[in-house]
Structure 1
Amino acid sequence: MAELLNVKPTRMELLNLKRRITLAKKGHKLLKDKQDALVMEFFTIYDEALQLREELNKKMEAAFETLTKAQLEVGTIPLREAALSVKPNREVEIRQRNVMGVPVPLIEAESFKRSAGERGYAFVSTSPLVDISAEKFEEVLDLVVRLAEVEETLKRLAKEIEVTKRRVNALEYIIIPRMEATVKFIKQRLDEMERENFFRLKRVKALIEARSGG
């Protein structure tokens, strides 16, 4: 049996509880709809994250393979000097957007892809493989930024789903049953009080009639 609320068994409390139950059921439906929508959105983004992660793994494998070839061709030291000569990456700006009412990151960044001349290292001491390797790692960076946004969105959606689920369960299994049990108790108590009043009035009437007859 659900635990009862600590209220007085009066008609006013009965009316208040009925109104609260109606509001609680509406709130439960809204939260359940929100939870379902969040779950659908989560799995849509989850599929995107899986695709991005798979693509990133392939691009990283290709980038390191090309880097190894470039290292064999130009040597470790010239390759390291070329890497140190590369101009700093473009800035990344992190803003926010809403997904189903949940604030999630919006990472705004220009593509990391550059032309050979924009990278900053000298062509004399390098080879085309260095350019190809740089290009592949720039593609990796573009994907990393996108994947970071998507995976952080998933984390926040998962947290919101859990919070919403706890609220739905609290309403469904604790709050609403407790209020309904209290309503049932108040009704029973009011019925008992009415019966007691009825019998009390009946006894009073009988006493008055007995005295009038005497």
Structure 2
Amino acid sequence: MPEMLKVKPTRMELLKLKRRVKLAERGHKLLKEKQDALIMEFFTVYDEALALRRELNQKMAAAFEVLRKAQLEVGTLRLREIALGVKKNEEIEVKTRNVMGVRVPLIEVPKLRRKPSERGYPLVASTASVDAAAEKFEEVLELAIKLAEVEEALKRLGKEIEKTKRRVNALEYIIIPRMKNTIKFIEQHLDEMERENFFRLKRVKALIEARSE
């Protein structure tokens, strides 16, 4: 026998259940629309993440190529000394923004691309190839931060889709069918009671008529 709710089979409960079914069906429709919108947003962000990942790989390859040339030009030891003189970047600030009801990170990046004079190492110790390598890795860092923001948004959207999907399925396959089965049971029970009452009244009427004769 299909699962049902534990309620008294009365007309009052029947009316309550019918109202609950309408609310549940409306909620299911809204959640399904939300799920579809989230999936569309997920794939939009997914495409953005793929494009950023490809671009990052390309920029990293280019940056390491320029770094290799700088290393050949000034030597490993000198290049390491120059790197130790580079000033640290300002700390990034992570805020959040709302995407389809989901809080996703919004990373506010400080100025990463700097002039050679702003990097902190002595210009006399540097060369054009070292400056070029520094510039390339600043671009890489900027892109890596953007990719981290997008991939975290993707992860959070995925979790929200999964959560919404569970709620949609619960309503569609468990809650609404259970309420409808209970409604059907109550209606059958009330119909049976009406028939019994009808036959009981007929018997009483027949007895009254027989006595009056």
Using the size of structure 1 for normalisation, the TM-score is 0.97
Question: What amino acid is the match of 2:107?
Answer: I
Could you tell me how far apart the structure 2 residues matched to 1:47 and 1:20 are?
A: 40
CA deviation profile, 1:28-56 (whole Å, cap 9, x unmatched): 00000000000000001110000000000
Q: State the secondary structure of the residue aligned to 1:53.
A: helix
Equivalent residue for 2:77? 77
CA deviation profile, 1:5-48 (whole Å, cap 9, x unmatched): 11111100110000000000000000000000000000011100
Question: What amino acid is the match of 1:193?
Answer: M
Could you tell me how far apart the structure 2 residues matched to 1:145 and 1:126 are?
A: 27
Equivalent residue for 1:189? 189
Aligned residue pair count: 213
Could you tell me how far apart the structure 2 residues matched to 1:123 and 1:149 are?
A: 34
Equivalent residue for 1:33? 33
Could you tell me how far apart the structure 1 residues matched to 2:61 and 2:127 are?
A: 20
Which moved further from structure 2: 30-39 or 105-114?
A: 105-114
Q: CA deviation at 1:110?
A: 2.4
Could you tell me how far apart the structure 2 residues matched to 1:130 and 1:33 are?
A: 54
Equivalent residue for 2:56? 56
Identical amino acids, percent of aligned pairs: 73
Could you tell me how far apart the structure 2 residues matched to 1:109 and 1:139 are?
A: 12
Q: CA deviation at 1:88?
A: 0.9
Question: What amino acid is the match of 2:58?
Answer: K
Using the size of structure 2 for normalisation, the TM-score is 0.98
Q: State the secondary structure of the residue aligned to 1:48.
A: helix
Could you tell me how far apart the structure 1 residues matched to 2:98 and 2:17 are?
A: 35
Kindly indicate whether the alpha-carbon contact (under 8 Å) linking 1:74 and 1:125 is maintained by their aligned counterparts in 2. no
Gaps of 5+ in 1: none
Q: CA deviation at 1:166?
A: 0.5
Q: CA deviation at 1:124?
A: 2.1
Equivalent residue for 2:151? 151
Question: What amino acid is the match of 1:36?
Answer: D
Which moved further from structure 2: 72-81 or 1-10?
A: 1-10
Equivalent residue for 1:121? 121
CA deviation profile, 1:80-119 (whole Å, cap 9, x unmatched): 1111100111220000110001011000112310000000
Matches within 5 A, 1:128-167: 128-167=128-167
Equivalent residue for 1:8? 8
Shift >3 Å, 4+ stretches: none
Kindly indicate whether the alpha-carbon contact (under 8 Å) linking 1:2 and 1:174 is maintained by their aligned counterparts in 2. no
